[in-house]
Amino acid sequence: MLITTYGIVIRERSIGENDKFIDVLTKDLGVIELSAKGVKKITSKSFSSAQLFAYSKFCLNKKNDRYYINSAEPVHMFYNLRLDVESFALASYFCEIILHTITSEQSANSVTRLFLNTLYFLEEGKHPKRLLKSIFELRLVSEIGMMPDILACHSCLCYQTPVMYFKIDKGMIFCENCYNRAGDAVEINSSVLHAIRYICLTDFEKLWSFKLSDNAQKNLSQITEKYILSHTERHFKTLDFYKELENTFNG
Ligand SMILES: [Zn+2]
């Protein structure tokens, strides 16, 4: 049986001289492992499509619960991500998150779209990386059913006070009148709160079209990062690497 789907390579492992296993985030089948025979030969028709970050149309064979590449047509290669070490590190972190949050054999259309758009903006280099990171982290968890409850104060249901408190492990916000009950919550100002609500709830087309001051971006980045680490209960090695670079480049 032949299956056609679109997907992005998020991990590659060499097998011997000519072959590879690649993990691919696909729209229709979630994250699947593909056996890619002969793709390391430069003459292979699927050579480009089997590279990290390549986005391609794949035609697959399924035999004994394993997928094999029948043919592949590259759509966009994201070559430029390799030219900037910080972008490369951030894209690798996104790949690691996807590997540990998206399962196989279920549609991952919205996550694929989120990841593709994020890579386009990262490659283009016009959006602040820190903001792309926050949008990806928070929207991804929202898309997979772990959206924080950010509509109103968890206690009194008021929409907003000048300062609010975000209890990251519970995914709840509290107003300034109720914050004693929140315990170890993080203080957030109104622009950070607005950004959090916007990233979780806005239409996909408008997701990247908002501005935020540098300070608010820093604050937001700490919050979205803690949120995804806490709710996936994971440690990402690629995140440590990205943060080392970020400190080196941005002080
Ligand atoms: Zn309240």
Under DSSP, the state recorded for 185 is P
Q: Provide the edge-to-edge strand list for the sheet that holds 186-189.
A: 172-175, 163-167, 186-189
| Phi, psi (degrees; rounded to nearest 5) at 91 | -65, -35
What does the pLDDT average to over 15-33? 93
Ligand 1 centroid to residue 176 C-alpha, Å: 7
Whole-angstrom CA distances from 69 to 2, 77, 81 are 10, 17, 25
Ligand 1 centroid to residue 12 C-alpha, Å: 48
Tell me the pLDDT band of 182, cut-offs 50, 70 and 90: low
What's the rounded Cα separation, in Å, for the pair 67 and 86? Answer: 32
Enumerate residues with CB within 5 Å of ligand 1 (an ion).
153, 155-156, 175, 178
- What residues make up the domain containing 127? 84-148+183-250
Six-digit token string for 150: 């950010």
The CATH number assigned to the domain holding 54 equals 2.40.50.140
Is the four-CA dihedral 92, 95, 99, 104 of positive or negative sign? negative
Q: Are residues 68 and 191 in the same domain?
A: no
What does the pLDDT average to over 204-233? 95
What does the pLDDT average to over 140-147? 95
What does the pLDDT average to over 197-212? 95
Among 44, 60, 76, where does a domain finish? 76
Q: Are residues 110 and 200 in the same domain?
A: yes
Q: Does 188 score more than 80 pLDDT?
A: yes
What's the rounded Cα separation, in Å, for the pair 8 and 80? Answer: 15
DSSP percent split of the chain into helix, strand, coil, nearest 5: 45, 25, 30
Query: What mean pLDDT, rounded, does the chain reach?
Result: 93
pLDDT tens digits, one per residue of 94-135: 999 999 999 998 889 999 999 999 999 999 999 999 999 999
Six-digit token string for 14: 């060499």
Among 25, 58, 76, where does a domain finish? 76
What pLDDT is recorded for position 47?
82
3-state SS class at 162: coil
| Phi, psi (degrees; rounded to nearest 5) at 74 | -65, 140
Ligand 1 centroid to residue 224 C-alpha, Å: 22
What does the pLDDT average to over 66-78? 93
Domain assignment present for residue 207? The answer is: yes
Domain assignment present for residue 158? The answer is: no
Q: Are residues 122 and 244 in the same domain?
A: yes
Ligand 1 centroid to residue 200 C-alpha, Å: 21
Domain assignment present for residue 161? The answer is: no
Asked whether the beta carbons of 227 and 171 are under 8 A apart, the reply is yes
Among 76, 98, 132, where does a domain finish? 76
